[in-house]
Amino acid sequence: MNMFKRIFAFYYNGFRDMTVGKSLWLIILIKLFIIFFILRLFFFKPDLSDCDSPQQKSDKVIENLLNY
C-alpha cells in the first residue's frame, strides 16, 4: 500500500508543479471534446438507428461492407 501512496504522491506533485503542462492538457481535453462530441453531432449520423430488428441491422452492415 505504501508503494501506491508514493506513486500517487509522485504524480500529484508532478501535476501540481506543472506550469505549461496544465495549459497543454487543457488544450488536449478541449480538442478531444470537440472531436468526440461536437463533430459527432454534425457529421456522423447513426445509420443503424432507422432499423427495427436485429436482422435488418445485420443486413445493412453486410450491405455496407460489400459495397466498399
Contacts of 22 (CB under 8 A, 6+ apart): 15
Q: What is the mean pLDDT of the chain?
A: 87
CA 31 remoteness from chain centre? 11
For the chain, give the longest Cα–Cα distance. 57
Secondary structure string (H, E, C) spanning 19-47: CHHHHHHHHHHHHHHHHHHHHHHHHCCCH
> What pLDDT, on the 0 to 100 scale, is given for residue 60?
87
For residue 51, name the pLDDT band (cuts at 50, 70, 90).
Answer: confident
For 5, the grid coordinates are 501512496
> What pLDDT, on the 0 to 100 scale, is given for residue 31?
94
